[in-house]
Amino acid sequence: MPQHTSTRQPSRTAAGARGEETEPGAPAPAPAEGAEATAAVPEQREPDQAARETAQPTAAETESAEPEPREPQAAEAEVTKAEVPEAETPTARATTQPTSVEPKSAEPEPREPQAAEAEVTKAEVTEAEAAGPGAHGSGVGPVPEPGLASEPGPAPAVAPAPEVDPAAPAPAEPAGRSVRWPWKVWSAWAGRWRERHPAGARALSVTVTVLAAVLVVAALVMPNSVVHLGPAKFLRIPGEAVVGAAVMLALPRRPRVVLAAVSGVALGAMTLLNALDMGFNQYLGRSFNLVLDWSLLTDAESYLEDSLGRTTTLAAVAGVIALVLLLFVVLALSTVRLSNVLARHTGTATRGTLIAGVVWITCSSLGLQVSGVPLASERTATALKVQARRVSDTLRDEAEFRKVARVDAFGNTPGSQLVPDLRGKDMIFTFIESYGRSAIEDPIMAPGVDRTLDVRTKALAAAGFHAKSGWLTSATYGGSSWLGHSTTMSGLWISNQQRYRTVMASDHMSLTEAFERTGAFDTVGVMPGVQKGWPEQKWYGLGKVYNAFQLGYKGPKFSWSTMPDQYALQQYQERVHSKRPAGGKSRMSLLILTSSHQPWAPIPKMVGWDRLGDGSVFKGIEAAGNDPADVIADTTKSREEYGKSVQYSVTALTEWLERYGTEDTVLVFLGDHQPIARVSGNHASRDVPVSIVAKDPRVLDKVADWHWTDGLRPAHDAPVWKMSSFRDRFLTAYGSTPHPRKG
């Protein structure tokens, strides 16, 4: 077999041309035996090789006269390369296709540490190959490196590496390295680790894949209610996973990865909505409304800050945000990883997907169950349809409710025909926070609350007051008290924030405004829970409102409640009730009490009415009370403390009436909603008690046909009305004449 053997033997100057620098003024080393004395002597070349080398510039021609500064890594690599023996066997020099010499750049490009390591490794491989053909089992050796000696000889002189000035600025990194560098480092490290520990790498890969699959399946079958959480709920076959696997197998790489990542993010969003549903069902007895309920998250933060403190709340909020971001990232990475596994094992994945599909269809068709839970699941698809329908219904309800709000049975009734039977009365409407049916009928809370109601009924009767009580079904549950207030006063079913905003912006008459329209009543509001501007004052028809900062309280807060109910009632007495309205008018007052607001810790205690002062007397009581965190964490304790808070509020209100009520005082008090589901029960009603108390028997005679129970405690079978019906029933009972306004 013919071989092209070059007779060229590189001189020492050729080594210098490769970047091996010599000290200035040093004598040139003696040439190796058999080599040309100088580079100027012509070399004998084969014609075809000479032609090729003529077309390529030599390293000496392209190299700069003054060596440019190089990165330490590059210099070290050159030195290492120069130290490699250049001796090669004649066979190793034989090539079928000579390698052309790559011209060197005038200014060497910076190389990364990996590049330097590769140079050293390459030099070591060249040295090993120099052992001759026997090392390779062939008569043809490897192609020599361009510029290396073809004949054995003395090791070339190695120029010392240039010294680096410590004070000199570091070479500028190439553009983009700051972005790619961490990933390259991680990739290199991971690759080396896999090479050193193949068994561990395989085990880790399988573990991560299994965890990704478990996480995705759990997210797909996750329920949206705490009461439905259980092992059986997570042992189902999600149909969405089967469909997703089939789609991934059919797609090429790039669309597959993009779709997998988007699907992971979407699954994270659905998981977040499920978690929000859990929270809303637990506290408000309903699911999260994607359109209306985002504003309630701010209220929840304020509630936590009032109950647990700012530091704890900030830490909790930061933790929740971090968990949400982690959820999205982990689910996206999990779906991408699973899609890659499917693509690497297409045959097995295809068979597995077909089997899973057949099993899912069989379980769904036969209705197979485990512990009463269907094996075939389409939980995420169903939840997505429910959310879409809820959004559609919410948007449609907004337009429909606006039409309903324009219709008012008493909208055109003249003031002279509104509540004529209550003229001259001292009218008071009072809401007791979270005062619900469960307080009267739950076996844990009822004994104490019922005893208090019975005792206070007798005490009021001794003072000349009598009462009748019934039930109203609230438009809200567990919170959003303003929905209960506005539903009672408007005669409209205000069950969400959008309806509330619609009514507040309308001229639909409230029950309190009806008194203002008569011109015979001075209207006042006492709102210890209001701590900012309250534009609703206009809709309620209140001439004056006292908020939390206008009642002179100097004592401690009781969690969310800004002040004890007893103090708020005493301030109402001193600032409002004890003063006669101007112009011989009567008075209508709206009071919203707060001491029975969750978390029901600490709870105020009754003190002597003449000891209230500026509220400082409550400092010791607040300090000795329960920690909110302890009560929130214990369901039984929460129920017990809730019952005590209702007893306190009812006692404070009825003692005030007993102490300061007059012959003309008429008190209507009711709850705004049931307490949270964890306290009232997961299947509790939305009913709240309502009572009318007066000394004048004619006031109660007007509602005799309501068939309410005598006293402050309504019977279990007492009439139950929708809260939205109370306004019209009350106006009608006390002589108001309907004059409808039709949109």
Question: pLDDT tens for residues 280-337?
Answer: 887 777 888 888 888 788 777 777 777 677 788 888 889 999 999 999 999 999 999 9
Confidence of residue 58 (pLDDT cuts 50, 70, 90): very low
Is the same domain home to 368 and 508?
Answer: no
Query: The tokens of 624 are what?
Result: 């000795």
Whether 220 is covered by a domain: the verdict is yes
Q: What CATH number is attached to the domain comprising 475?
A: 3.40.720.10
Is the same domain home to 147 and 262?
Answer: no
Is the same domain home to 119 and 27?
Answer: yes
Beta bridge partners of 431: 592, 670
Whether 108 is covered by a domain: the verdict is yes
Is the same domain home to 385 and 422?
Answer: no
pLDDT in tens, 220-255: 999 888 777 888 888 888 999 999 999 999 999 999
- Element containing residue 90 per DSSP (H, E): helix 90-93
Whether 176 is covered by a domain: the verdict is no
CA dist 495 and 285 (Å) reads: 12
Q: Alpha-carbon dihedral of residues 136, 141, 147, 150, nearest 10 degrees?
A: 110
Is the same domain home to 605 and 565?
Answer: yes
Query: The tokens of 647 are what?
Result: 């007893």
Whether 38 is covered by a domain: the verdict is yes
Cis check: omega of the bond before 599, within 30 degrees of 0:
yes
Is the same domain home to 651 and 704?
Answer: yes
Count of the separate structural domains present in the chain: 3
Whether 171 is covered by a domain: the verdict is no
Whether 555 and 615 have beta carbons less than 8 Å apart is answered as yes
Whether 82 shows a pLDDT value over 60: the answer reads no
Q: What is the pTM of this model?
A: 0.69
Whether 193 is covered by a domain: the verdict is no
Whether 85 is covered by a domain: the verdict is yes
Whether 181 is covered by a domain: the verdict is no
Is the same domain home to 310 and 362?
Answer: yes
Question: What region, left, alpha or beta, does residue 137 occupy, with left being phi > 0 and alpha being psi -120 to 50 degrees?
Answer: left
The residue segments making up the domain with residue 364 are 201-389
Is the same domain home to 339 and 453?
Answer: no
Identify residue 517 by its one-letter amino acid code. Answer: R
Whether 407 and 721 have beta carbons less than 8 Å apart is answered as no
Is the same domain home to 654 and 532?
Answer: yes
Whether 595 and 603 have beta carbons less than 8 Å apart is answered as yes
pLDDT in tens, 122-178: 444 344 444 443 444 433 344 444 433 434 444 444 455 545 444 444 454 454 444
Give the per-residue pLDDT at 20.
40
CA dist 264 and 244 (Å) reads: 11
Is the same domain home to 335 and 471?
Answer: no
Is the same domain home to 131 and 237?
Answer: no
Is the same domain home to 56 and 140?
Answer: yes
Taking residues 678-707, report their average pLDDT: 92
